[in-house]
Structures are given as C-alpha cells and as structure tokens.
Amino acid sequence: MLRIGLFVVTVIGALVAAAPLIAIAGSNPLSAYRALLQGSLGSRRGLAETLIAATPLLTCGLAVAVSFQGGLFNIGVEGQLVIGGLIAGAIGAEVSLPAGIHVVVAILGAALGGALWALVPALLKAFRGVHEVITTIMLNYVAFSVSTYLVSPGGPLVSKTQPSATEKVKATAHLARIWQPTRLHLGVVVAIGLCAACWFFLYRTTAGYRLRMVGANPTAAQFNGINVRGVVVRTMCLSGALAGCAGAIEVLGLHGRYFDSFSPGYGFDSIAVALLGMMNPLGVAAAAAFFGMLRAGSVLLQAKAKVSKDMVTVISGLVVAFVAARVVLERRLESSASRRDRRRRDG
C-alpha cells in the first residue's frame, strides 16, 4: 500500500514540477497533459502505441530489477539488448524454419546471446571480484561496435537495399500483430508473461529466494550454505537473457528487421523504470506503462499541443529526480514510524 502511494506521489510530483517548465517553454501545461493523455490512452492507436512503447522498457526493466535484487547493477542491458536484437534479426532473416518454431528459435537465440554477453562480467565478478558496473559498461561499447560492423557496408549481415540494417525478417519469424489495424504485436504478451514469471521466480521459488538473499547480504547467504558465486553468475545471465529477449521482441514484432539504431537507449532508460518500479516486477510493469504513455503521448504533444518532444525527456528526468528524493522520503516515514513504535514501547 505504502509502495503504491510512493509510486503515485513520485509520478504526480514529476508532472507538477514539469508544469512550470512547460509554461516557460511557451505552452499551456494543462493542454499539454491533455494531449499526452489523449495521445497515449485516448484512442485505439494511442493505447496500442503506449503498450508498444512500454514493452521494451518492461522487459529491460525486469533485467535491471532481477540483477538488482541479486545485488548486482547490470548497466550492460543496452548492449545485451543490441546483441539480442542482432541475433534475432540474423536468425529471422538468414535461417529458414517452419512458422512458429522459427520465432521461438529466434527469441531463444537472442536470450542466449544476451546471457552470454552478460556471462563475462558475471564470471569476472564471481571469481575475480571485478566490479560489474565497469565491465558491463565496457561490454556495451563492444556490442555497439560489433553490431555496427556486422551491418556496415560490406559487413556479413547487411541488407542489399537498406543500409545499416539486416535483411527483412522472414514471415515465419514475425511476432504476429494481434490488434488490427494497430501495430500491437504478440511481443507485449511475451513481455507480460516474462513479468509474471519473474515475479513468481523471485517471490515463490527457492532459487529466487536465494537470489534475493545474496542480494540482501552475500556474507550471510554464504554462511547459510548458499553458493554465492553460482548465484551471481546465474543472476547476471538471467538478466542478460531478459535483455536479449527485449531486443528480439523489438526486431521480430515491431521493425521486421534489425536496424543498427533501433534502440534509443531502452537499456539505460530501463534503469529509471526499474527504480520507479522499486525493483519489483509488478512495480516495473506499472513504471513501464507510465513511461510508455509519455513516449506514445509525445506524438500528439508535438502535433496538437505544439510542445517540443524534449519536454517528455524533461518529465522523465524529473521522475528520476523524484525517485532519488523518494529515498529520503521513505527514510523519513520509516524513522517516524520507528520513533512512534519506540514511544509506544517506552510509554
């Protein structure tokens, strides 16, 4: 209950704080928010676009949340996502398989690729104590350069007609569109399924409990007979696999081919999503939906309310600022609650 309240306070706080900025930029904040709301929820297409925009944020947000619950900060989600998207695009375009199997193979291949991309930092962390923030960030650049090379002119995967992209994914590997005439695709169902699975795994299985225990206190976990190294490696790979899935969903569901520039930084934005969602899969889903609304609504924001698209970036930034401020608020609430408890006990 408290958590839902904090979520709502954070979001509303950011929107209120952004209002004077919109006014300074020369627009009416109320009509801007009306356009945002109308653009994201007011029509069939808007609603579909909100879900489409939320899908990669949700899947990547889960990747961040899972690693964080295990005490790891995976900043390499973006690179793992790119690798996943590239593998899905390559399998989708270059391999021939029956319908149904093809799409599953492409997604699993992407998940495997993402997991392998996370394996190196995981092993370095578990056995050499190298901080995962450094290694995952560095591997991002490796991923960007490798993928750019593969689809550069003369690269092995580049399309004949479209620069900086692979050939179109074959129809057998497409994630079907599920709500004509919008472009909403099966990927949103996959993402929601992954979200439910992550929640179940973290809170209803022994392995998930171990993961959270290592995250909460690795020393205590070790003394309780948990193989901390094994958990660290598995957590990081799981996080990478989720990120790889996110890339596959975008490529197979939305773009129909791997574009070198398909991700505007979903992997980085998802850190904000996971923070707003308090690292809980259900919270991440709510946060992804909110950020999805901002993205989808930004079209009407520009077209109708004549507000710069950058205002959406400003609101997102304010949300992050309020998330940070929330930590302070949370402590206040906790300390006042414990003081009340003490007084009750003492008195």
- Residue 163 interacts with another protein (CB under 8 A): yes or no: yes
Q: Contacting another protein (CB under 8 A), which of 35, 51, 52, 106? A: 52
Which residues, at least 6 apart from 102, have a Cβ–Cβ distance to it below 8 Å? Answer: 91, 92, 95, 96, 170, 172, 173
Considering only CA atoms, which of 210, 230, 229, 232 is closest in space to residue 221? Answer: 210
- Residue 282 interacts with another protein (CB under 8 A): yes or no: no
Tally the residues of the chain.
347
- Residue 308 interacts with another protein (CB under 8 A): yes or no: yes
- Residue 336 interacts with another protein (CB under 8 A): yes or no: no
- Residue 1 interacts with another protein (CB under 8 A): yes or no: no
Helix then strand count (H, E) for the chain reads 13, 0
Q: Contacting another protein (CB under 8 A), which of 28, 31, 38, 152? A: 152
- Of the candidate spans 69-77, 188-196, 278-286, 308-316, the one that interacts with another protein by CB under 8 A turns out to be 308-316
As a dihedral over the C-alpha atoms of residue 199, residue 275, residue 244, residue 53, rounded to 10 degrees, the angle is 100
Euclidean distance between CA atoms 200 and 126, whole angstroms: 25
- Residue 192 interacts with another protein (CB under 8 A): yes or no: no
- Residue 53 interacts with another protein (CB under 8 A): yes or no: yes
- Residue 310 interacts with another protein (CB under 8 A): yes or no: yes
Q: Smaller CB distance to another protein: residue 88 or 126?
A: 88
Q: How far is the CB of 108 from another protein (least distance, A)?
A: 23
Cα–Cα distance list, 38 to 9, 82, 163 (Å)? 22, 32, 36
Q: Smaller CB distance to another protein: residue 74 or 263?
A: 263
| Residue count, binding to another protein (CB under 8 A) | 49
Per DSSP, the three-state class of 165 is: strand
